[in-house]
Amino acid sequence: MSTPQLRIVRFITVALLAGTIIGIGALSPLLAQPVPPALWKQGQPEALKDSTLAPVPQPPAPLAADKIPLNKIKVPPGFKVELYASGINNARAMTLGSKGTLFVSSRVVGNVYALVDKGGKHEVKTIAKGLDMPNGIAFRDGTLYVAAQNRIMKWEGIEDNLDNPGEPVVVIDSLPKHLAHGWKFLAFGPDGKLYFNIGAPCNICLPPETNANISRINPDGTGYEYVARGVRMSVGFDWHPETKELYFANHGRDWLGDDVPNDTLHQVSGRNVPHFGYPFCHQGDVLDPDFGKGRACSEFNPPLLKLGPHVAPIGMIFYTGTMFPPEYKNRIFIAQRGSWNRTEKLGYGITTVTLAMGQPAKQEGFASGWLENNQPWGRPAYVYQMPDGALLVSDDYAGAIYRISYSR
């Protein structure tokens, strides 16, 4: 015969067990919810759901200087590649201060660095930490401008305060914020305005009016204007030294195949705000299988040049220096960070584009060697022309900056 105490224990045990079962039953619909796909899988067709293609993961740390195989980087005769700086985790965009400080952004790490020359070596100072994807940086009149996801900030008199930069002044903080293509490029145009991109918040979608464009503001944050629309993701642009027209590189969508679409180079001409096709038309002649229905590519501004499928053109500049041979004057240098949405990887180098009146634009390889056996050891991200005419190339994968010079 059970005692009253034992009956109470049994009752409590049964009640707890029943409650647990009911609780699990109530939670089961939540537990059964499918895990949402990774952002980079968005737009992946059912036929490719088992594809092994995936973005190249960022290394946990930059390569040590003695581990960077400079001898593998191939450039034309007369050019030389040297290691300018190393140990800069995820080195991205660069800009030079008026007192010789090289500022470098780090999109993944969230830092901004200052490189100061100390007897021929470059001391690295961290001037900002924990920012939200601070990719774009620009310098003017003693002030450093940095673009994070939804805001642009500035540090005035920064070169006099590298060890204690203080809090930045917010220029604008109302920009769209999203993980997919949320990082910005930043540059001052010939008109003195500050230009930046706002990428599409997806691989392929009908973006809000606020997205998929290149925009500009006055340096104080006023006078917001759109410059170009239908731009999926441009994180590199520059102005022609003579015509002052804006040229930009653009990333095509993923998951249409190994060879489609090409990433592209574009020219912005005229006073109206041109539309360059996204999401309806890709590379100027390929209608999107979903968003292109009922549209025609002739509705949109075509690209100036197809750069190659999935090559990821990041930084681009017009070369205006005198160090390189005369034929390089006013050529565009483009850093191709390299593909992931392609079986055989492509890009991972630097190309040049020659523009000639009445002639089609022509792309040529300039520097290569960062890709071996379909695997990268480095990824060129941005290019920057120094006052002496040498080019700096940032490598966000190896965490390095290279200097490319020429001697006759």
Give me the phi and psi of 211, to 5 degrees please: -115, 170
- Catalogue the E-assigned strands of 119-217: 121-128, 136-140, 143-147, 152-156, 169-172, 186-188, 194-198, 213-217
Q: Is the Cβ–Cβ distance between 144 and 137 less than 8 Å?
A: yes
Q: Which pLDDT score, from 0 to 100, does residue 360 have?
A: 94
DSSP characters over 229-245: ES-S----EEE-TTT--
Q: Region of 328 please: left (phi>0), alpha (psi -120 to 50) or beta.
A: alpha
The pLDDT value recorded for residue 12 is 43
Distance CA 227, CA 274 (A): 8
271, amino acid identity: R
Instruction: Kindly report, residue by residue over 268-313, the tens digit of the pLDDT.
Output: 987 789 999 999 999 999 999 999 999 999 999 999 999 999 999 9
Neighbours of 341 (CB within 10 A): 23
Confidence at residue 4, expressed as pLDDT on a 0 to 100 scale: 45
DSSP string, 82-106: EEEE---TT---EEE-TTSPEEEEE
- pLDDT attached to residue 358: 86
Task: Please say if the pLDDT value at position 255 is more than 70.
Answer: yes
Of the pLDDT bands very low, low, confident and very high (cuts 50, 70, 90), residue 8 is: very low
From residue 128, give the alpha-carbon distance in Å to each of 135, 162, 339: 12, 10, 30
Element containing residue 25 per DSSP (H, E): helix 4-31
Using the predicted structure, report yes or no on whether residue 18 has a pLDDT greater than 50.
Answer: no
Distance, CA of 1 to CA of 288 (rounded, Å): 78
72: buried, middle or exposed (CB in 10 Å: 19+, 13-18, 0-12)? middle
DSSP-derived secondary structure letter, 11 = H
Per-residue model confidence as pLDDT tens digits over 87-112 = 999 999 999 999 999 999 999 999 99
pLDDT at 31: 53
pLDDT range class, residue 330, cuts 50, 70, 90: very high
Q: How many CB atoms lie within 10 A of CB 310?
A: 27
Contacts of 25 (CB under 8 A, 6+ apart): none
Alpha carbon distance 268, 2 (integer Å): 89
Which 3 state secondary structure label does DSSP give 277?
coil
CA angle at 211 for the pair 96 and 89, rounded to the nearest 5°: 40
Query: Of 5-19, 145-159, 241-255, where does mean pLDDT reach its minimum?
Result: 5-19
Mean pLDDT of 197-220: 98
Question: Average pLDDT in the 357-370 region?
Answer: 96
Angle at 10 between CA 5 and CA 16, to 5 degrees: 125
Determine the average pLDDT of the residues in 2-14.
Answer: 46
Grade residue 33 by pLDDT with cuts at 50, 70 and 90: low
Mean pLDDT value across the chain: 93
- Reported as a pLDDT band with limits 50, 70 and 90, residue 408 is confident
For residue range 134-144, list pLDDT tens digits in order: 999 999 999 99
Is the pLDDT score of 181 beyond 50?
A: yes
Distance CA 268, CA 87 (A): 37
Phi, psi at residue 263, to the nearest 5°? -75, 160
Q: Which two tokens stand for residue 113?
A: 């660095």
Phi, psi of 181 (to 5 degrees): 55, 35
Q: Concatenated DSSP letters for 36-47?
A: PPPGGGTT--GG
Secondary structure (3-state) at 146? strand
Report how far residue 165's alpha carbon sits from residue 128's, in angstroms, rounded to the nearest whole number: 8
Comparing CA positions, the residue from 212, 297, 211 lying closest to residue 261 is 297
- CA–CA distance, 162 with 170 (Å, rounded to integer): 19
CA 195/CA 237 separation, integer angstroms = 9
> Taking residues 330-339, what's their average pLDDT?
98
